[in-house]
Structure 1
């Protein structure tokens, strides 16, 4: 099997710990809107494509028991993986690709991640800001996953653009699970643009991942090599990785959404976020996330600056 099937501890992410983690968090900078970026095309709800017959896997198919799932008044949070499918029309994808290409100049390298990336991309881009707060976009994502979803209140991680290439530091496959629960990845480039860069995932519980070995049949590749292909993953419940880009350029937009009804079960930890975005940027968002609410759908939507999405909306 290729390196995408390896699941040893050496393949886990190299992340800061201890004093290094604090130092990294103090140095992290928040992206700020400024001059130097070209004008963008306007976002339109008509850019959302009609979804039909989208493949879906449940968390039960990954080995999770019913009592391990999130529940809200008889409704279960049981979706593991959806897609791939084309969430945008051809025109919408062309506009999104143009926007993300122009934002690359604002991307940064990390001492712990080989891929260049731009966190908080919607803070710099009106197009992305309007896209992920569009009611049609949110309803489409919510109906596919089966729970009401809005942009994550932890503002900076909501939209991240990854720019990977076969040049620069050598990469290895880094298996990991996300701090975010509801993660949508849109391919901005396709397999014709690069070699490698295959999205792989472990079809099993996270506590079973340490037992995976080369050739393990639970290692799968998601067939999302087409431009515009969109994949949903319950990021905190599934170990996944991207194989190294050996030639060409691979770009993806990663959007993290949030279910207000499962706010108390949100998987993020403070230091996971602070290590990426810095302590000053993380504290206000973290406090807003933990602040008590009376009506989850309304209160969290106000904090996220987006339309209210309820259970009734996704029936």
Structure 2
């Protein structure tokens, strides 16, 4: 994995400026209120006649500029470690993880799923949740061994699709039609998140992905012009960004012209299952309490062979540490 530093490859220091005017995700009692009001995502029938996923859609030699968590202010003792590895990857990208043909097929699928998009108040204003349950193409993509190996090598740890299912694949839709679609300042419940961009900057204005290069507990002290607010240089169609989502505050500004669509895939490391950062109320605020309870119980069941057990639950191949060293 390359150790080229992300800020040397186009990250714009101080890009936040007015972006701190964007709202922040609810916390405390307000998050509980969101959980009471949230409704589970709709479950329409699977797409008829969609493209077929093929393993050759995964690009070769998927590498990109990397920043580690210590550059965000996290101390060594706060990082997951085991199996001879320190789980210290904060951000990798932009990278190309799909071939042009694979990207075209994914774009077609996401365009067809847009009619199922619902509105939300917690973090992302307009999205489809659980998209892999609606699309065989997306389901097969995120469970393809080559795709998982590419993502695991970016993260530096073995990954599988997140077994919680509802938040495993989310498609975000942003359009300049008066709705002011945004992603609020937030950190994810998931530890390992990949965002695929299906449009380029030529297709829209606004819609900038920004992140705070500091600890999550330091974000409340950030102000306009803070040099720790950076913009990820993901302006090309097909650009992908890996993020240690639970440890990094990030946001997306409103689209003021055109259309922007992103696919967000959440992963899980079975080997660090007991260090998973998910909290019940973070998930429930997005999907509602009734939809979250059964998934949460399955996630927290004790396991013996964590890698095999969670992979079976996610319907995924098992990725091992040895696979990453090949």
The interval holding the TM-score normalised by the smaller chain is over 0.9
Which residue pairs with 2:43 in the alignment? 32
Which residue pairs with 1:4 in the alignment? 16
Q: TM-score, normalised by structure 1?
A: 0.93
Q: TM-score, normalised by structure 2?
A: 0.90
Give 1:165 shift: 1.1
Which residue pairs with 1:224 in the alignment? 234
Does structure 1 residue 239 correspond to structure 2 residue 249? Answer: yes
C-alpha distance in structure 1 between counterparts of 2:77 and 2:111, whole Å:
43
Pair 1:111–1:208, CA change in 2 (3 A): closer
Structure 2, unmatched stretches of 5+, are 1-12
Which residue pairs with 1:312 in the alignment? 322
SS in 2 for 1:85: strand
- 1:1-315 matches, cutoff 5 A: 4-6=16-18, 11-14=23-26, 17=30, 20-25=33-38, 28-34=39-45, 37-112=47-122, 115-170=125-180, 174-315=184-325
Q: Deviations over 1:187-236 (max 9, x none)?
A: 01111111001111111111222222211111111110111000001011
Which residue pairs with 2:3 in the alignment? none
Structure 1, unmatched stretches of 5+, are none
**CA RMSD of the aligned region, Å?**
2.1
Residues paired across the two proteins, number: 312
Pair 1:307–1:110, CA change in 2 (3 A): same
Give 1:109 shift: 1.2
Pair 1:80–1:3, CA change in 2 (3 A): closer
Give 1:62 shift: 1.2
C-alpha distance in structure 2 between counterparts of 1:9 and 1:247, whole Å:
19
Contact in 2 for aligned 1:31/1:124 (Cα 8 Å): no
C-alpha distance in structure 1 between counterparts of 2:19 and 2:85, whole Å:
34
